[in-house]
Chain A
C-alpha cells in the first residue's frame, strides 16, 4: 500500500481506518445494547462483539503497520508512522485483555450494562486518537473521549459507593486538569500560530521559540495536563483512590491503557513538537520522574491492600516511563514503547489476579489475604509471582528488558542521577512486590478452606496465562518487539522535514 495521499477522501478514510472501524463497531454495539440489555447472556454477547471489534481493529492496525503506510503531502491531523501503530497495538491489547478479564467479573458483580463494553470501545478509540493525533486538538479530543468514557466506567458499578466516589474524584480532577491542558494548547497555539505538531516543531525551530514565554507556559500547562493523566507525582493524588474504587477490570484498563495513552500523546508532543524546547521541559520531566519514582514506590511500601499497592506501583511505573521521556532521545521513545507493552501485560495480569482472588469485594483484598495461595492454586500463584517479578524488573521477564531499555536511553542522555534514582526505586519496589510472593509461597494458608473460592476460570484464566507467558517470552526473546519499538521511537523523533510552504493547515 505504501503511501497515502491524504488530500483524497479515500486516502483520508484509509488513514483513519482503525479508528473509524472501531467507532463504527461501537455504534453498532450501542444499538445492540439498546435492544438487548436484560441478562447475563446479552452481556456476554456484547462482550464478545466488543472483543471481535477490538481484534478486528488490531488486525487492521497490524496490517497497516506491516504495509508501512506513510503519508505524502501536507501534514495531516493524523500521523501515519510506526509510533502510532505501536501505541495502537498496546491500547488494543490492553482493551482486549480488559474485555477478557471483564467477562467473569461482570458476571460476578452483576454489572449488567452492555454499555460497559461500548464505553470501553469508545475509550479505546479515544486512546488511539491520542496515539495517532498529529494535532493538539485531535489529541485533546481523543483525551476527552477517553476520559469521558473512563469517568463513567469508573463509576459503572452503581451499587458501590466506592465506585461513585471514584468516578466523582476522577471526573472533577480530570476536568480540572483538562482546563490546564486546554490552556496549554491555547498558549502554544498563540505562540506558534498552529496546533499541528509537525508545524509547531517547524515554527519552534525556524523562529527560535525555544525560550518564548507563551510557548513555555503553554508547554508547562500541557505537562500538567499530561501529568494528571499519567498520574505523575504530584498530579497523581487521584490515582490511588480512583484505582481503588473502580471495578478491577476498569482499574486494570486505567492503569495500563489509559496511562499508556497519556504517555503516547506526551511522548509525541514532547519529542515531536517540542523537541526544540527540550532544555525547558526536560528539567521538569526529570523532576517529575524522580518524584514519581520515589513517592510511588515509597507509598506503595506502606500499603496493605493489594489493589492500592498496585495503584501506587503503577504510579511508580509512570515514573520509569517519565524517565524514558526525560532522556529526550529516540531511544527513550523506543524504550517507552517497549515498556508500555511490557507494562500493559504485567499490570493487567496483576489486576487479573486481584479480580480473581478478591471474590468478596476486591477492595478488601489485602496482601495478606493471598497467604498460602501457592498451596491451593499453584499456577495462579506462579503467575502472580511472574507479574510481581516483572514489575520489579527482574531478569527473565519483560519488565527487566523494559527497564534495561529505559536505563539505556537515560544513560545515553547522560542522566546518571536519574538512572540511579530509577534503580533506587526498583530496590524500594522490592519492598512491596516481594512480600506478595512471600505470603503466597512462604506462608501456609490461614485456614483449611482458604482460597477455596479463588478460581481462575475461562477468559480470566486466559488473561493470566497469556500475559504471564508473554511477560516471560519478552523477557527471554524480546527481539521482535524490541526492534519494532526502536523503529517506532526512531520514527517519532526523526520527524520528516517540515514543509516550507504552509504555516497552517487551513486556507486563508
Chain B
C-alpha cells in the first residue's frame, strides 16, 4: 500500500517545484520547475490510478501532451524574449509594471 507515501512524495516534489519557481530568476529554469510540478501531479495520478482505474493513467497521457505543447510554445516565447533582451534573467525583464 504505497498510495499514501506516493501522494506525500508527490506533494513534496510539487512543493519543491514551487520553491524552485520562487528561488530562480532564469526563465528557462523556472519553466523546468513548472515541469517538475507537472510531474509531481503525474505521480499523484499514477498512484491513484492503481486504486481507481486506468483513467488516471489516461490523464497522465494528456498531461504529457499538454506539457509538450507548453514546452513548444514556452520555449518559443523564451527564444523570442531572448532575441529582444539578450537575457533570460527575470530581474531584467520588467518593462511592464505599475
Contacts and interface: CB of A to CB of B under 8 A. Distances in A.
Contacts of B74: 151, 171-172, 175
A186 B43 CA distance: 10
A167 B95 CA distance: 12
Interface in B16-37: 17, 21, 27, 30-31, 34, 37
Nearest to B37: A179
Contact of A506 (B34, B55, B93, B96): B55
Interface in B54-81: 54-56, 59, 62-63, 66, 69-70, 73-74, 76-78, 80-81
Contact of A193 (B17, B34, B52, B95): B52
Contact of B48 (A178, A190, A241): A190
A141 B96 contact: no
Interface string A168-183: 1101100110110011
Contacts of A185: 59
A155 B52 CA distance: 41
A103 to B, nearest CB: 25
A179 B52 contact: no
A375 B37 CA distance: 55
Contact of B80 (A137, A148, A164, A194): A164
Given A176-B37, A244-B96, A167 B80 contact: yes
A508 B84 CA distance: 53
Contacts of A141: 62, 66
A144 interface: yes
B5 interface: no
Interface residues of A, number: 45
Contact of A175 (B14, B63, B70): B70
B62 to A, nearest CB: 6
A152 B73 contact: yes
Contacts of A308: 98
B32 to A, nearest CB: 11
B53 A506 contact: yes
Given A190-B7, A190-B44, A504-B53, A179 B77 contact: no
A408 B96 CA distance: 38
Contact of B53 (A152, A158, A186, A508): A508
Contacts, number: 129
A104 interface: no
A168 B81 contact: yes
A221 to B, nearest CB: 10
Contacts of B53: 193, 504, 506, 508
A282 interface: no
B62 A168 contact: no
B77 A164 contact: yes
Contacts of A172: 27, 30-31, 34, 74, 90
A329 B45 CA distance: 32
Contact of A182 (B48, B63, B69): B63
B77 A171 contact: yes
A398 to B, nearest CB: 30
Given A148-B69, A179-B37, A190-B44, A168 B96 contact: no
B56 A189 contact: yes
A137 B85 contact: no
Given A183-B37, A183-B44, A186-B44, 17 more contacts: A141-B62, A155-B77, A164-B85, A167-B81, A168-B93, A169-B93, A172-B31, A176-B34, A182-B38, A186-B45, A190-B52, A195-B59, A241-B96, A244-B96, A303-B98, A504-B55, A506-B53
17 contacts: A141-B62, A155-B77, A161-B85, A164-B81, A165-B85, A165-B95, A165-B96, A166-B96, A171-B70, A172-B27, A172-B74, A178-B34, A178-B66, A186-B41, A241-B96, A242-B96, A506-B54
